[in-house]
Chain A
């Protein structure tokens, strides 16, 4: 189990659980409910936020908010083929 904020660009996951707090409805209206598939598209270059593909739309969330959302990672073999995986590896070299 990991948090939405842990995803790196190119990684996808299913939402497990949204926070019990008041920001919940704000997430729900973006379509973030249990079982929703999300994909991390990009990290903000100076940190703090990432962009996620959720139900066909790309939405940026701050890590402080994404840290409250539990997700189940999907192995990203399929996206590897498109070169996203390689791009990810390069980030740490």
Chain B
């Protein structure tokens, strides 16, 4: 989900121009396999997805040697522009794409279309051709179209558009070399661009704009701002005001649609329904069925979580054991260091780092690929569609359900995922409430404490614990909806319009999905977490080992926090652990254990229940720990991401205040109830 290295690189200029470098832009509708094509051609790591607006900041990469035309010397750089439906609406992505195409920074523009949905795709293609004739058309997903019985006549497209047209399939590599040599041809000028415009407007409009720079004149008539307002254009604007209001703008906007319809009717033969097959239709009828939608959706998410939790248990233990041994070796290797430096680095920093990695890596390595599989198959768009009704009532948007689900994996990933939401207001709401979904760093606490709460209960212990877990997530969802509603009222702007494309179901490419999701998301999130875990491990070790008077600093802090902790129905140690867990949620529990046992470094979790009950844990402590875990301020990684995504310290601050305040309030309530009834 856009969680790629280019986030950090986006400040750099899009394409560094050097004499032997040719820049080629990739443009197209969302969901046409554009990013996938980009990845195949450049080998760059960038995630591809099956829903709108995946690429927000343009990414660039060099074309691999093997796709370069033989007679080509120098380098080809591809710039992957954001996927848009049009260039005329002034959304940030559209402006970015339009300005890049207009600027002439690219010597050629490859317009990528989905062969299964060519007619709609041609609308954008024609708009681009109006801006620049140095373009070529890439009809992608040819293999899928053939499977669906759709025939695309490339020669007819060439005839109509007068530009090179190449059919490709990114997954099989079909046509990619031809595409690159045609692109290089257009860029070098050896393939001459068409001289006439791609389509004509009605005579009365053509008359108005004759003699003027075409692109600018049309922009003026369509009611947009041209790149430069000249006196001639000013006069044109005046002249157009004679016609009935909206008439000219409407004609101009709808003209490409009609032209696209004509071209598609010449070039495409498809069964009725086009790319949307009878199979898709049947499947959609089941998935969006009023009675089946919710159970199916829950089943799917439950399946993902079950696989994640069950599947990661064993690898986590294995990794833990491996790291223990590794730590032992490193400890012996470091015997040249002074004793406390060695302790601090190995038992403090390294152990925390290892702990975080062994807890986080296996679930993420399972969760993210599963998630990506669902995403690539087209199922996620249906989930967004199904949940829009509920979410729009709470000022949200259907796509928020996806970012929430992503938040269950990692809140930082969920926050970045909010980019798929078009409307700024709804995006902000989704970002600020994402943290109510407990991420898998918080899962261990929830699971352990749920188990402790149900320890020795009459019911089956694991069933009861699972029930408590479910209640925790349900509480998170309820808080998300409630806060979204309140934030919606507070922000008080109109709900945006909602447009969501339901792409045809696709068989996900499993190999690619696993590689991409592990490279892009898992390692990215892990690296960020590790970067904070290591230094914080050192700080915590220092706190636990620097002694003031007769106790460690940590003991002093937790002692000082005791009254506050008690008021919240917790104790000083747990409160201290919750606060110190800011860098990484997964260290909260080991931290608490370390403080209870007065240890000087993070230990294992053996005998956890005994330790906790011996330290006066009551059912209330358990419940409030659960509450404070669900209603928790975002971890440092997430907070940084929120600040980056919203571009504002205020919202980042609010994202801390909202859950913390809610958590404290809830804890006060449960504590009061507990005391009144003297449970």
Q: Which residues of A contact B (CB under 8 A)?
A: 9, 20, 23-26, 28-31, 33-34, 36, 41-49, 51, 53-62, 64-65, 87, 91
Query: CA of A11 to CA of B456 in the docked complex: distance in angstroms?
Result: 58
With known contacts A45-B290, A65-B498, A53–B389 Cβ distance under 8 A: no
Q: A29-B89, A61-B498 are in contact. Are A44 and B386 (CB under 8 A)?
A: yes
Q: How far is the CA of A42 from the CA of B289 in the complex (A)?
A: 8
Contact of A45 among B85, B258, B293, B497 (CB under 8 A): B293
* B-side interface mostly: helix
Q: Do A58 and B502 touch (CB < 8 A)?
A: yes
Q: Which chain B positions have C-beta within 8 A of A44? A: 288, 385-386, 388-389, 398
Seed contacts A42-B284, A43-B290, A58-B502; 10 additional CB < 8 Å A-B pairs? A29-B86, A31-B120, A44-B288, A46-B390, A48-B388, A51-B502, A56-B116, A57-B117, A57-B275, A59-B499
The residue from B290, B390, B501 contacting A59, defined by CB atoms under 8 A apart? B501
Instruction: Give the nearest-CB partner of A60 in chain B.
Output: B500
Q: With the chains together, A61 CA to B398 CA distance in Å?
A: 11
Contacts of A64 in B (CB 8 A): 495, 497
Question: Chain B residues with Cβ under 8 A from A34's Cβ?
Answer: 254
Question: Which residues does B use to contact A, with CB under 8 Å?
Answer: 85-86, 88-89, 116-120, 123-124, 246, 250, 253-254, 257-258, 260-261, 270, 273-276, 280-281, 284-285, 288-290, 293-294, 385-390, 392-393, 398, 495, 497-504
A89 to B392 Cα, complex, angstroms? 28
Is B288 in contact with A51, judged by CB distance below 8 angstroms? yes
Q: Which residues of A are found within 8 Å of B502, using beta-carbon distances? A: 41, 51, 58-60
Most central of A34, A48, A57 by chain B CB within 10 Å: A57
Output the nearest chain A residue to B85 by Cβ-Cβ distance.
Answer: A29
- Of B289, B497, B504, the residue contacting A62 (CB under 8 A) is B497
Assembled-state Cα–Cα distance A24/B246 (Å): 11
Residues of chain B lying within 8 A (CB to CB) of residue A48: 388-389, 392-393
> Complex formed: what's the CA distance from A60 to B497 in Å?
11
Across-interface contacts of B86 in A (CB, < 8 A): 25-26, 28-29
Q: What is the CB-to-nearest-CB distance from B583 to chain A, in angstroms, rounded to a whole number?
A: 39
Q: Are B388 and A49 in contact (CB under 8 A)?
A: yes
- Say yes or no: A23-B497 contact (C-beta < 8 A), given A56-B275, A57-B120: yes
Residues of chain A lying within 8 A (CB to CB) of residue B273: 53, 56
Query: Does A45 contact B389, Cβ atoms closer than 8 Å?
Result: yes
Are A54 and B88 interface neighbours, CB within 8 A? Answer: no
Partner of A55, one of B261, B288, B389, B497: B261
Q: Chain A nearest CB: distance from B102 CB in Å?
A: 18
Q: How far apart sit A46 and B387, CA to CA, in the bound complex (Å)?
A: 7
- Bound complex: CA of A33 vs CA of B254, how far in Å? 6
A33 CA / B246 CA spacing, docked (Å): 14
Whether B285 pairs with A30 at a CB distance below 8 angstroms is: no
Q: Inside 8 A of A61's CB, which chain B residues have their CB?
A: 497-499
Contact between chains at B276 and A56 (CB < 8 Å): yes
Q: Inside 8 A of B388's CB, which chain A residues have their CB?
A: 44, 46, 48-49, 60, 62
Pair A54/B120 contact, Cβ less than 8 Å: yes
Q: Is the CB of A24 within 8 A of B275?
A: no
Most buried by A among B246, B258, B288: B288
Q: In the bound complex, how far is the Cα of B118 from the Cα of A31, in angstroms?
A: 12
